Structures are given as structure tokens and as C-alpha cells.
Amino acid sequence: MQVTETSAEGLKREYTITVPAGDLEAEITRRLGELGRQIRLPGFRPGKVPMQILRTRFGASVRGEVLQNTLQTSSTEAISERNLRPALPPKVDIVSAGEGTDLEYKMAIEVLPDIPEPSFADLGIERLVVEVPEEEVEREIERIAEQHRKSETVEGPAESSDILVVDIEGRVDEREIPGARGKDRHIVLGAGGSLPRFEEQLIGAAAGEHRKVNVTFPADYALEEFAGKEAVFEVDVKEVRRRLPISIDDELGKAVGFEDLAELRQELRRQLQRNYDAASRLRLKRALLDRLAEGYDFDVPPGMIEIEFESIWRQHEAEQQAQAEVADAATAAAPGEGTGDVALDASTTDPAAAAPGGETGEPASAPADATAAETGGLPEPAVAEAGEIVAGSTAQEQAQADQANGAEEELKAKYRKIAERRVRLGLLLAEVGRNNNITVTQEEVNQAITREVRRRPGYERQVLDFYRQNPSAADSLRAPIFEDKVIDFIVELAKIGERKVTPQELFTMPEPATDDSLSS
């Protein structure tokens, strides 16, 4: 095998590799001999099939197999002999591979850069420490108590904050408003629906009473056909319910799965502390990555940047598409249907509490590990219908299209810089992990899978089966675990100061100045 380097520019290398025809022929003959000992052909004893017949029957397929294996083994050998560290799989372009001729091909490869040994002696960052204020715990207790607040049926007229159970339908100019009709709807008086003066016209209503409610849709209402129009809602009041006073006692603790109020309060304090610690760690991590990004500027493989950029851009386009679908759905949504309009189901006596989210805004530890992107809000280019020319509008439309294209190119340039930063940080962290024998155990991956399972109640079996049947998906969980372990290792070595702050200070102080605004 002959290997000739034809180009060495930056981190890119190109080689011409030639494998002699004799070596190929020897391997083809050897492989046909193996095949002859394994197969059975009519008229021949096992292992006694003539080579010429083997070549006639299987020569083409065996040659293809040998060429494929030779490409793989020879390129691997060339990389190993030159101590290259590939950033990505090599690209191979066959120059000649005819029967009886040498195999000649070109191999292009991007190699990993020489990464300087980082120093963590003085990064100049600090950890923000928050102690849970007692009043914060009490606010959470009151919030839970409000969620579990009971109500009872009352006689007489409804007052503000009462709950009306109603049958309802709405019309505009005798046209029924889609989705406005409903039975046993709950309307919380004073909850602040999006239709002006709707709820106040129901104050004083009693069970068994029919009321006609007249409202005017806002001029900027999502459904243009109803914007600014007068609407009439026919409301039959079936029940008036009045909420009982909030009760904060041991029964409240039991209602949410604890032994008593004290245990509930203790768990809330622990949960708040975990949330504050997570927010503090995220700030520390971002500040650390900013310092590393500022302190280390080495070349990174262009192919890795391109892969990361394409991942970010696909996510951006997916989010743009999702936003467009949400906008379309909002335009088609009926009033009062899941939007708080006309206060239908705008508030209930048992709303569900939102679960705290995870960390966001962290760069991917592996270059192609980005999972979220900022939205650019790009305007859509104005395009006239085919064959339609509107007088005086062509120049304006072209200007709008140019503006949209310019904005898109500007956004792409921004995301490409983010991709480069991510790749550089990912390589730096990987080098720190490699030099310090930081690894991810299978047990840690299993724990991550368990967390993913718990995040999707009702689909536990499907999520677990997915990871079991897709090893690559399970392997993708290694990257964030590895990143966190390396970050913890660096923080342990670095001189990290601590400063006590209030929860308000933690969440309102400016974020670390970072280009990496995308989630990982």
C-alpha cells in the first residue's frame, strides 16, 4: 500500500492511497477459497469446487466485498500510521478500481486540533448561595391550599369569586360561535376573562336563572370575522358554588400525600432549595464556560462546525414551524376554548401545579448535541401570485424579500458562531475528561433513563422500551452526563468564591454574557 499526502491545510488532510492489484487479487482468491469450502454445488464434492467456477458464480460479489473491506482497512491503517486523530469519518473518493488494476482512491480527513492544557487556577467566578426564606415556604403552602380549596352549593344570587355551573352558547348576528356552546361549564366570576364585561353581567345570577350576556369582541380579536362584532351569549345557570375559606392544617398535608402539614412544609423547603441550587449551578456553569471560551481560541474542524450549525438551524426551523402552527391554531380557535375567553374554565377549584423545569442554555458537550434554538422572528418574503403584477408593489415586494433574506443570513451567521463556540468548548471539555480519566458508567446512563421515564407519566413502558431497543438513543444520554462530570471536576479544582444572595437577586441579576444561548 502506498500513501501520498497531497494536501495539508489547517486541520484538513488529503491523501492518495494505492493498493496494488496483486494484493487485491490475492485477497479475492483467498476469500473465494473460503467460500468454496463452505458452499455445496451439485456435481461437486464439498470443498472441491474448481476456482474457475467459483470466480464465474461469485467473483463479482466477492470482488465488491474485498474492495469495501480494503477501503476500510487501508484507510484505517493510513490514519494509524500517521497518528492522526480524526474529527469525523474520512471521505473517500475512488479514482480507479477496475478488474486487474490497482485500487486508487483519495481520502480527505479533518483532524482534531492540538488542545492546550487548560489552567483552572483563577477563573474569577463565584457560586451564588441562596437560603430558602420562610415566607417563600408559606407562600407555597398558601398556593397549594388555594388549589385544594373546596366549594359548596349556595342558594341565592352569585357574588364575585363565586363559581357558576352553566350551559352556554354564543352567537354573532344569528351565527353560532364555534366552540362557544357547552354544558356544565364552570365560570369563576372575577377571574378576568378576555371578553370585556362578560363576567360582571353574571353577578347576581341564581340557580335556574337564564341570562342573556351582550359583549363586544375586541378589535384585535384573533378571529378576524368576529373582531369588533357584537355577540350574545345565552347562559342557563344550573348551580352557584361558593368557595370555602382556605384551610391550612394537617388535612392539607394528607391531601397531597404527606403525613401532616409539617412534612409537607419540609418537602416544600427541600424542593425550593433544589430549585435555587439548580439555578445557582446553571449560572456558575455558564460563567465557567464563558471564561473557558474567552481563554482558549484554537482552530476547530470545519466539518464539526457545519454539523453543529445544521443541527441548530434544523431546530430553529422546527420551532418556527411550531410557532406558525400555534398561530394558525389560535386563529382557528373558538372563543372560550382553552384560552380563557369568556372566562369559561378560566379558573378551577383544583388547578394542577406546574413541575419545575430543568437546566437550559448550556452548550452541547458533543458538537452535534444541540437540541433547541432561539427563534429569529424572520419576516416571510412577500411573493405575488404567479402571473399577477400589482402596480407599484413589485419594488416593495422585492425589498421585503431582500430584507427577509438579509435577516436570515444574519441569523445564520449568528448561529454559526454559536456552533463554533460549542464545538470548541466540547473539544476542550472532552480533552479535560480524557486527560483525567473521567468516564460515564452504565449505571449513570441507567439512572438518566430512569429520569426520562419519570418525566413522562403514563408512557413509562414505551419510553423504557425505546431506550432498550435503541442503544444509540441511550448513548446520547452520556454526553450531558459527561459534561456535568467534567464541569464538576473543573469547579473542584478552581478557586470558586461564594456569595449569599436572596432568591430575588438570583433570578433578576443579569445572566453571564454568553453567546451560547441555545439549550442542550
pLDDT tens readout for residues 469-508 = 998 888 889 999 999 999 999 998 888 889 999 999 998 8
What average pLDDT score do residues 335-341 get? 38
Cα–Cα–Cα angle for 282, 283, 286, rounded to 5 degrees:
85
User: Which of 86-95, 199-208, 358-367, 454-463 is predicted with the least confidence, judged by mean pLDDT?
Assistant: 358-367
CA distance 520 to 517: 10
**Residue 385 scores a pLDDT above 70:** no
CA distance 481 to 364: 11
Q: In this structure, what C-alpha cell is assigned to residue 231?
A: 355577540
Q: How many CA atoms lie within 13 A of 301 on its CB side?
A: 23
Helix axes 261-295, 478-493, angle to 10 degrees: 80
Q: In this structure, what C-alpha cell is assigned to residue 97?
A: 478500481
Q: What percent of the chain has pLDDT over 70?
A: 83
**Residue 437 scores a pLDDT above 80:** yes
Run of H or E residues at 19: strand 12-19
Q: In this structure, what C-alpha cell is assigned to residue 315?
A: 431546530
User: Which of 55-64, 121-130, 139-148, 324-333 is predicted with the least confidence, judged by mean pLDDT?
Assistant: 324-333
3-state secondary structure of 432: helix
CA distance 115 to 104: 34
Contacts of 46 (CB under 8 A, 6+ apart): 37, 40
**Residue 342 scores a pLDDT above 90:** no
What average pLDDT score do residues 425-434 get? 93
* Alpha helices, DSSP H, located in 215-260: 250-255
* % helix, strand, coil for the chain, step of 5: 45, 15, 40
* Alpha helices, DSSP H, located in 183-301: 250-255, 261-295
Q: Judging by DSSP bridges, how do beta strands 163-172 and 230-243 pair with one another?
A: antiparallel
CA distance 279 to 296: 26
Mean pLDDT of the chain: 83
pLDDT in tens, 246-287: 889 999 999 999 999 999 999 999 999 999 999 999 999 999
* Beta strand residue intervals within 97-150, DSSP E: 103-110, 126-129
CA distance 412 to 114: 28
CA distance 200 to 166: 15
Cβ atoms of 340 and 193 closer than 8 Å: yes
Q: In this structure, what C-alpha cell is assigned to residue 515?
A: 453567546
Run of H or E residues at 183: strand 182-188
**Residue 146 scores a pLDDT above 50:** yes
User: Contacts for 19-27 with beta carbons within 8 Å, 24 or more apart?
Assistant: 19/70, 19/74, 19/102, 19/103, 19/104, 20/102, 21/100, 21/101, 21/102, 21/103, 23/70, 24/63, 24/66, 24/67, 24/70, 24/102, 24/103, 25/100, 27/66, 27/69, 27/70
pLDDT in tens, 43-83: 787 778 888 888 888 989 999 999 999 999 999 999 999 99
List domains and CATH numbers for the chain: 2-110 (3.30.70.1050), 151-243 (3.10.50.40), 252-383+393-508 (no CATH)
- The alpha carbon of residue 501 and the mean position of all alpha carbons in its chain are separated, in whole angstroms, by 30
Task: Give the pLDDT score at 349.
Answer: 33
What average pLDDT score do residues 194-212 get? 89
Q: Which has more confidence, 511 or 342?
A: 511
Specify the amino acid at residue 483: E
CA distance 434 to 289: 18
3-state secondary structure of 258: coil
pLDDT in tens, 279-300: 999 999 999 999 999 989 899 9
N- to C-terminal Cα separation, the chain? 44
Q: What percent of the chain has pLDDT over 90?
A: 57
Q: Which has more confidence, 375 or 340?
A: 340
Q: In this structure, what C-alpha cell is assigned to residue 16?
A: 492518495
Task: Give the pLDDT score at 373.
Answer: 30
Question: How many CB atoms sit inside 10 A of residue 185's CB?
Answer: 19
Burial class (CB in 10 A: 0-12, 13-18, 19+), 106: middle
| DSSP letter string, 157-182 | ---TT-EEEEEEEEEETTEEPTT--E
Cβ atoms of 284 and 496 closer than 8 Å: yes
CA distance 55 to 158: 95
Q: In this structure, what C-alpha cell is assigned to residue 155?
A: 342558594
Closest by CA to 264, choosing from 141, 361, 105, 112, is: 141
> Which residue matches cell numbers 441562596?
130
Cβ atoms of 433 and 485 closer than 8 Å: yes
pLDDT tier at 399 (50, 70, 90 boundaries)? low
What average pLDDT score do residues 222-229 get? 84
φ, ψ of residue 434 in degrees (nearest 5): -65, -45
φ, ψ of residue 186 in degrees (nearest 5): -105, 125
3-state secondary structure of 38: helix
What average pLDDT score do residues 160-173 get? 92
User: Which of 324-338, 347-361, 453-467, 494-508 is predicted with the least confidence, judged by mean pLDDT?
Assistant: 347-361
Task: Give the pLDDT score at 412.
Answer: 94
Cβ atoms of 141 and 268 closer than 8 Å: yes
Q: In this structure, what C-alpha cell is assigned to residue 433?
A: 475528561
Cβ atoms of 490 and 431 closer than 8 Å: no
Specify the amino acid at residue 471: P
